[in-house]
Amino acid sequence: MNLSGGITKRRTFLKGAGVALLLPRMESLGQVSESNSPRRLLTIVNHLSFYQPELIPKTDGAFENPPPLLAELSDHLKHLKIFSGLDNPAVQNGFGHTPCVGILSGYFNKLHRKNRLSVDQAVADLIGVDTRFKSLVFQAGENLNFSQISWDKHGLPVHQIDSPRKIFNLLFQVDENEKAQRQVLAEDRSILDAVSAQAKSMEKHLNSTDRAKMDEYLTSVREVEQTVKRRAYWAERSKPSVDYELEDFDRKSVDDYVATLLELAVLALQTDSTRAVTVQIPFWEGFKEASLSGNYHDLSHHGQKKEKIDKLLMLEHAILKRINDSLNTMKARQVGNSSLFEQTTTLLTASMGSANSHNFDDLPALVFDGRMKTSGHWHRQDVPMSNLYLGLLQQFGAQRDHFGESNGALDLLA
C-alpha cells in the first residue's frame, strides 16, 4: 500500500501557474533593490521531528540508497544537504515542549531577551525591506506558549498567524471592513505624527542618556510609520489576484494544514508579498487524520511500538510528500528570469531529535538550495545548530561571525 496515499484524500492542488499578478515593489518607499532574482527563505519547523532511522542515511556523503522517508524528497536530492546530530545546547533543560521556543534562535533563556533573535527574522531583516510584509510566520492552530519560535531583533515575539483563512485574507482578500480599516490607518498616521512631534520636542529637554531612550521611541515610531505606510500603500492597491481557492476545513488534519500552509507560503513568495516565510507543522493533540486512528502528537510518543511507528511514518511520509510537492511547484514557477526554487533557500528542521524521548540534541536539518555544489549527508555530532544558522545568515549577506551558540559556520553551498 502506498502509505502516504492512505491519508491523502483532499484537494486538487493549484492547477498550472495560477498566479496572475506579481506585486509591484514599493517605489514610494524608495528602497527598491534591483535584482531579478532576489534571495528568499522558506523555513519549515516540525516540532515533533521525524523518525530519524527512516530519514537519515547511515553514512556520510552522497545519497546512494536514500532511506524511505528521504526518498519522498527524491526530486530534489541534487540540491539537498542533510546535517544530522546537531545540538542545541541552550534548550536542553526542561520538560515537555517548552524549550522548543528557542529552536530558531539556537539559544534561549527565558529570563533574557538578549540573543532571542531567530534566524528567520535575522534573514528577514536583510531581505524584507522592499516587500509588503517583512516576513510572514504561519502556524497551525492555537498559539501555545511553547509554539512561539520567531523572535525579532528586540527579542520580542513576532506575530504568528494561526489560521489559513487569516493568512489568505491578509495576502489576497480585499478587507470587508476596508473603509473602516483605511480610517484607522489614516488615524494611526496622524497619531504617529503627533507622538513623534512630541517625542522630538521632549528630546530637547533631556540629558544624553534619556535622549538615547527617546531616540529608541522615535526610531520605533518611524518603523511603525513604515509598517502603517506599507499597509496604507497596499490598502490602496489591488491585492495580487491568484487563481486559488482556499478550502475551508474544520477538522484539524496535519496533512490538510501542511498542504495549505505550504501552498500559501509558496504563493506569498511567488507574489513577492514577502521574501521570508516560516511555517510550523502542527503538532498538538487536536490534530488528527480522519483515516488514521490516533493523533499525531500521541503517535510521536510511539514508545517503539511498531504499530504506532507505522502510523507515525504514514504521517511523516505525507508531510514530506507535501514538502516535495511544494519544492516542485517552486521549480515550475518562474519569477523574473529564474524559477522560485532557484531563488529560495528552504530549511527544514525540528526542535527535538526524537519526540519519543524529547531530546534536544541529535537534531536533523535539511537545506535545499539550487546553488549548492555537492549534495549529501553530514553527521555532525555535537555541532551547534547555530553553526548552520550562521552559515545561512552569511549566505544571505549578513556581516556577522556569531549567532546564538555558534562556534563556527557550516558552509551550505559547498
Partner 1 sequence: MRRPWTALLTGFLLSGILQAEPKLERFFAQNCVKCHGPEKQKGKLRLDKPSGAILGDKELLETIATVLEAGEMPPEDAPQPKGEVVAEILQTLQARILAQRPDNPLKRLTRAEYTHSMQDLFGINFDLTGLLPPDHVEHGFDKFGEAHLMSPHQLMAYLKTARFIAERVLPDAKPQATTWEFDARHFHGSKNFATGGGGDFRDGDDYVLTGFRPYRSNLHFSIDTESHDQFVIPAFGLYRLDVKAYSEKSQEGEVIGINLGDGRHPTSFRNIRRIPMPHGSKGFTTELTLRTGDRLAFTFDSARVPGRSLEKGKHKGPAMRFSHLRVTGPLIETWPTEAMKAILPKPKMNPAELVDHIALLLTQRPLAAEDQKAFVEIARIQDKSGASMTATARSVLIALLTSPHFIYKAESPELTAVERAHRLSYFLWNSVPDANLLNAARSGALAKDPSIQVERMLKDAKSSRFVEDFTRQWLQRDKVDDFGPDVRVFKNVRRMTVDSMGREGRELFRYLLEKDLGMEHFIDSDFVMANDRLARFYGLPAVKGDAFVPVKLPAKSERGGLVAQAGFLKLTSTDFATSPIHRGSWILKNLYNERIEPPADILINEPDIRGTTTIREAILKHQQLESCSRCHSKIDPLGFALEYYDPVGRKRNEYRHVEELPADPEQTMFTKKIKFTKVPIEAAMTLPNGREVRDLPTLKTALMADKKRIIKGIIGKLMSYAYGRELTLADRPHLEAVYESTADKDFSLRAAIHAIAAHPAFGRK
Residue 130 and residue 26: Cα distance in Å, rounded?
Answer: 6
DSSP letter, residue 349: E
Helices 306-332 and 254-270 pack at an angle, to 10 degrees, of 20
Residue 183 or residue 241: which is nearer to partner 1 going by CB? 183
Residue numbers at the binding site for partner 1 (CB under 8 A): 89, 93-96, 110-111, 113, 142-146, 152, 154-158, 184, 187-188, 190-195, 197-199, 201-202, 206, 209-210, 213-214, 216-217, 219-221, 223-224, 227, 284-286, 295, 297-298, 301, 303-305, 356-358
115 versus 345: smaller Cβ distance to partner 1: 115
Residues 382 and 85: beta-carbon distance below 8 Å: yes
Min dist CB 230 to partner 1, Å, is 12
H or E stretch at 348: strand 344-350
Angle at 114 between CA 46 and CA 219, to 5 degrees: 105
Task: Using the minimum distance from each CB to partner 1, give the nearer residue, 162 or 342.
Answer: 162
What's the closest the beta carbon of residue 20 comes to partner 1, in angstroms?
Answer: 32
Using an 8 Å Cβ cutoff, are 323 and 315 in contact? no
Whole-number minimum distance, CB 216 to partner 1, in Å? 4
Three-state DSSP at 28 gives helix
Helix H, strand E, coil C: the string for 243-271 is CCCCCCCCCCCHHHHHHHHHHHHHHHHHC
Cell reading at 361: 540534541
Q: Which residue lies nearer to partner 1 by CB, 166 or 305?
A: 305
The alpha-helical segments, DSSP class H, found in 95-177 are 119-127, 164-172
Closer CB to partner 1, 111 or 414, in the complex:
111
Task: State the DSSP string of 314-326.
Answer: HHHHHHHHHHHHH
Strand locations in 87-140 (E)? 136-138
User: Smallest gap, in angstroms, from Cβ of residue 395 to partner 1?
Assistant: 26
Q: How far apart are the first and last CA of the chain?
A: 38
What's the rounded Cα separation, in Å, for the pair 237 and 270?
18
Complex with partner 1: residue 58 or 305, whichever CB lies closer: 305
Q: Which is nearer to partner 1, 104 or 366 (CB)?
A: 104
- In three-state secondary structure terms, 278 is strand
CB 392 within 8 A of CB 369: no
User: Of the two residues 99 and 391, which places its CB atom closer to partner 1 in the complex?
Assistant: 99
> For partner 1, which is the closer residue by CB, 198 or 328?
198
Q: Grid coordinates in use for 380?
A: 555532525
Smallest distance from partner 1 to CB 355, Å:
9
In the complex, minimum distance from the CB of residue 166 to partner 1, in angstroms, rounded to a whole number = 13
Residue 5 DSSP code: G
C-alpha dihedral, 62 to 407 to 367 to 394, nearest 10°: -120
- Smallest separation, CB 275 to partner 1 (Å): 19
State which residue, 374 or 407, has the beta carbon closest to partner 1. Answer: 407
- Min dist. Cβ of residue 107 to partner 1 (A): 12
Reduced to 3 states, what is the DSSP secondary structure of residue 199?
Answer: helix
| Nearest C-alpha neighbor of 313 from the set 73, 100, 55 | 55
Closest distance to partner 1 from the beta carbon of 98 (Å): 8
Q: How far is the CB of 223 from partner 1 (least distance, A)?
A: 4
- Contacts of residue 220, defined as CB under 8 A and 6 or more positions apart, other chains included, come to none
